[in-house]
Amino acid sequence: MGGIFGVVSQGDCTMDLYFGIDYHSHLGTKNGGMAVFTEKGFDRSIHGLENSQFRSKFENAAARMHGHVGIGCISDSEPQPLIIRSKLGHFAITTVGRINNLKELVKELLEKQGANFLEMSGGEINPTEVVATLINQKNSISEGIRYAQTRIDGSMSLLVANEKGIYCGRDLVGRTPIIIAQKDDGSLCASFESHAYLNLGYRTIRELGPGEVVFLSQKGVESKIPPYHKKRVCSFLWTYYGYPTATYEGVNVEESRYRCGAMMAEADKDKNLELDSVGGIPDSGLAAAIGYANASGVPFKRPFIKYTPTWPRSFMPTQQSVRNLIAHMKLIPVHELIQDKKLLFIDDSIVRGTQLRETVDFLYRSGAKEVHVRPACPPIMYGCKYINFSRSTSDMDLIARRMIVKLEGGVPSEERLALYTDTSTQEYKNMVEEIRKEMHFTSLQFPSLDMLVKSIGIPECELCTYCWNGKE
């Protein structure tokens, strides 16, 4: 994933930019960057974030940079923002999204347009540079943004800053958000996360619509391209990677997770589970666990507690073995809450299942009598092909897919696969039972997609649910 943030201030934008980007740190761990238009042109700084947090890495840059326009990002992939000189002038660009047809676009731009690209280590081309080159094919930045978005297979939200202000473009179907907010003195910001500017004194004006492009300047917000009607907001914003304090499309993440937990409690109410406690796998499972506990009357407890003084972040390094090690090291068990207890845990989702199985095995070794698991979303069937969402990689890594292959004796046809996404079929029930056995849970129940959509509270036709049902 990743997050983007930009400021056009009446005075110096740098400290607002610095803190605003930092409040996107839960969205990525690979690179951070900020660029401010100063008296001498753009001043830009980029650092890797795998071993250190944004604030500590950018302290010096923030003290050095001064100007009234700035943009930046937390990126799980390429280094950004990039500074570009072109026929459209001098601009900085930062993006969030995914380009599935990157190779084809690069080939076309090299052959037909005579473009050239800097090569990153490993021979890769920086996708944000390709977006900038597509923008430069047109006669204005707004037209260029629209052209780039229509040529990209995937999704692309972006900020483009010049000396006057910031062009903000939300991806064509609004999978990722861009929110505009303002301070009393007229300063404006554009943000992926709605909580990122609250402590800086900004108040939300509005969220951009799908495909909408606006220009922020010291004079205000100027509409450049109106929104499209088709909307497919990523449901995982509420399920997993949105921060609990964030609100998208008017729906707060924490509240939607309470609703999801309450619906799962309702689905369990006749099962006589006689639970001692309900807990959430920190951090993204906690809110749904609170919702379950409040609705069921079973006490909410924390048999695992995250060691926050040194493991404060919810995202993990990109290398799977390091992720597993960190997941294990950062959670400390409370034996008094585990020994001889019947526990129910809520996790945000089950992707590969590796970490959760290790956690559950550890609970049994620590004396738990029963471990019931309720993931807060349906089984994930398809890896994300729209945004760089690092949780779901290849389809065959997904535990649901692996169990289906086991049950079917091979890779199923699309028609057979569809049977496993329908909660009323025997195939679906068999798959859930296979996952339960594989993961050593006492019981396992997923919410239906309908429950998930209801907990978010937005019509299903406005949500992307591809991960669960493969619908584009």
Give the integer Cα–Cα distance in Å for 29 and 2.
8
Closer residue to ligand SF4 (CB): 24 or 175: 175
Cβ(387)–Cβ(98) under 8 Å? yes
Closer residue to ligand SF4 (CB): 172 or 337: 172
Closer residue to ligand SF4 (CB): 169 or 383: 383
Kindly indicate which of the ranges 122-130, 261-269, 312-320, 459-467 contains the residues binding ligand SF4, using the contact rule CB under 6 A. Answer: 459-467
Closer residue to ligand SF4 (CB): 253 or 464: 464
- Look at strands 342-347 and 277-280 and give their pairing: parallel
Q: What are phi and psi of 158, to 5 degrees?
A: -155, 160
Closer residue to ligand SF4 (CB): 86 or 101: 101
Closer residue to ligand SF4 (CB): 21 or 467: 467
Give the integer Cα–Cα distance in Å for 32 and 49.
6
Give the integer Cα–Cα distance in Å for 455 and 260.
5
- C-alpha distances (whole Å) from 347 to each of 55, 79, 268, 373 are 29, 31, 16, 8
What is the H or E stretch that residue 399 is in?
Answer: helix 399-408
Report helix, strand or coil for 188: strand
Q: What are phi and psi of 212, to 5 degrees?
A: -75, 145
Report helix, strand or coil for 434: helix
Shortest gap between Cβ of 387 and ligand SF4 (angstroms)? Answer: 5
Closer residue to ligand SF4 (CB): 22 or 171: 171
Structure tokens at 181: 């907010």
Shortest gap between Cβ of 389 and ligand SF4 (angstroms)? Answer: 4
Binding mask 119-158 for ligand SF4 (x = CB under 6 A): ----------------------------------------
Task: State which of residues 17, 148, 316, 387 lies at the interface with ligand SF4 (CB under 6 A).
Answer: 387
Shortest gap between Cβ of 464 and ligand SF4 (angstroms)? Answer: 3
234 binds ligand SF4 (CB under 6 A): yes
Reported residue count of the chain is 472
The residue type at 287:
A
Q: Which of residues 327-386 bind ligand SF4 (CB under 6 A)?
A: 384, 386
Shortest gap between Cβ of 392 and ligand SF4 (angstroms)? Answer: 7
Binding mask 158-177 for ligand SF4 (x = CB under 6 A): -----------------x--
Residues that bind ligand SF4 (CB under 6 A): 175, 234-236, 384, 386-387, 389, 464, 466-467
